[in-house]
Structure 1
Amino acid sequence: MEIIDNHTHLNDEPFRGKEQYYLVRAKALGVTKVICAGQDPDFNQRAVDLAQKFDNVYAMVGYCPDVAKDYDQKAEDELIKQLKMPKVVAMGEIGLDYYWDESPRDVQREVFARQIEVAHDLKMPVDIHTRDAFPDCYDILKNSNLEYGAILHSFNGGVDWLNKFLNLNVYFSYSGVVSFTKAIEVHESAKAAPLDRILVETDAPHI
């Protein structure tokens, strides 16, 4: 079986200069391709650079909730440029994070919705980070055009949220959290999710 790790941070500091080593290890375990997630200007550029350097690495770029406060027209222009590059396959990770609250919530919502619009205009899917923000995330997605698809990265919602999001053009990516003994809700939603709507990820090095 061939596995695609659809959300990894090979562009993070712990992997710097060791990317080839970890890609070889991943391949030995059946992981044939990885998608490297952006989140801010530095991570976005590193993801793009790694995708150009390694045949089995692909990139996505975006402004995560933490840096939504820094999103402006210049940032958007750069994202559009990167999204048109070879091997950049999605806008991400983008979304809402009400746990850390590094950017004002109204700004997070505005930037999240705007990036979905940009991705749609470029016929790209979106990769979504949402923490303690399912109601607002759902409302934004429900009112967005998800013609080209969306992934809820490291999904940790229960069956009720799974069923709500299933009504949208959303896929569910489960990280290592699904293996945690106390993550009962995640266990239940993973069992209930249709097989054709499930993806897998490591979110390395975070989990």
Structure 2
Amino acid sequence: MIDSHAHLDSTRYAEDRDALLRRAHEAGVRAILSIGIGDGPDTMHEALDIARKYAGKPGVPKIFASAGVHPQDIPQLDNAACTKLDELLQAPEVIACGEIGLDYYHPENAPREVQMAAFSRQMEIAASRKKPIIIHCRPSDGSANAWDDTLAQLEAEWRPTGLGGILHCFTGELHHAQQALDLGFLISFAGNSTYPKAQPIRDVMAELPLEHMLIETDAPFLAPIPNRGKRNEPAWVAEVARTVAAVKRISPEEAAFGTTQNFYRLFRTAAGQEFPA
């Protein structure tokens, strides 16, 4: 399995990161994409640091990294942050830009037009380094507004790159997912897809071909059933694989293998290194 989205640089892992990674490997997780947003631009390099620290170590998953400025941190996206992002995206271990996008859920976030401008700026940097993007999208409560705006922006600004990316922790509607597939994106499902009230997410999952799906934890957030409420960790991506398997009426092994192949297929040409066939 591959956990396609985990915040390994979280301070919640400071005391037991080694053990956490060993547990993930024992659970069958062979790679993790460590999301490099940090606590803002000043620390978005820490995911890369972790990838380098554990490179080649036995008994732990292969760690890739991303880099980006989260929508909640957009006020910190100055010229220095953009320069740092551009530099990080040149590292071979950094295979994607993200998570970036739009977050309308928190009223204290930057105004929507400011978020859109920052989204555009980061897409330009990612395109210049030929890196796929990882999308964070969270609409205001009870709406699909951020999904509509995100897909419109991707259509206008990202489609021409042909680089694709990932819609992380998908919570949109089926038509959003279908539009994203047309843009070359994979749809990633997180631990919240296991929750009893998440049937709308599972309904979308049921309609999508497995070859366009990924699984993730978003650790340390969104721990899946039966660990909901605890600190999440990459080993528990197995619960998401089991949910995909149940919905698609396939075995957990098929779900794990299929989503793993999808991950490598997306990043094979953009990562600057060899991946399994």
* Same fold, TM-score > 0.5, yes or no: yes
Query: SS where residue 66 of structure 2 aligns?
Result: strand
Q: Which has the higher strand share?
A: 1
CA contact (8 A) 1:93 1:129 kept: yes
Q: How is 1:74-113 mapped onto 2 (pairs within 5 angstroms)?
A: 74-101=80-107, 102-113=109-120
Give the counterpart letter for 1:10 in structure 2.
L
Residue 143 of structure 1 aligns to a residue whose secondary structure is: helix
Structure whose CA Rg is larger: 2
8 Å Cα contact 1:8-1:204 kept in structure 2: yes
Say yes or no: does 1:126 pair with 2:133. Answer: yes
Q: Aligned pairs, how many?
A: 205
Q: In 1, Cα distance between the equivalents of 2:118 and 2:94? A: 20
In 2, Cα distance between the equivalents of 1:91 and 1:54?
A: 21
3-state DSSP of counterpart to 2:52:
helix
Matched with 2:183 is 168
Q: Secondary structure at the match of 2:123?
A: helix
Once the two structures are superposed, what CA deviation does each residue of 1:137-187 show, in whole Å capped at 9, x if it has no partner? Answer: 011000123411110000011222222222211110100111111112101
Match of 2:231 in 1: none
Question: Structure 2 length normalisation: TM-score?
Answer: 0.71
The answer to whether the aligner puts 1:143 opposite 2:156 as a matched pair is: yes
| 2:44 counterpart SS class | helix
- What amino acid does structure 2 have at the position aligned with 1:14? R
Cross-structure match for 2:16: 18
Provide the residue aligned with 1:189 in structure 2: 204
Structure 1 runs of 4+ with >4 Å offset: none
Correspondence 1:68 to 2:70: no
Change (3 A) 1:22 1:42: farther
Matched residue SS, 2:48: helix
User: SS in structure 1 opposite 2:95?
Assistant: strand
In structure 2, how many angstroms separate the alpha carbons of the residues matched to 1:125 and 1:8? 17
SS of 1:78's equivalent? helix
TM-score if structure 1 supplies the norm length?
A: 0.95
Cα distance in 1 between the residues matched to 2:190 and 2:212: 14
> Cα 1:159–1:22, aligned 2, differ >3 Å: closer, same or farther?
same
Q: What CA deviation, in whole Å up to 9, does each residue of 1:1-37 have, x standing for no partner?
A: xx11110011011101421111100011110111111
Q: 124, 133, 148: which is aligned to 1:117?
A: 124
Percent sequence identity over aligned pairs: 35
Structure 1 unaligned segments of length 5 or more: list them: none
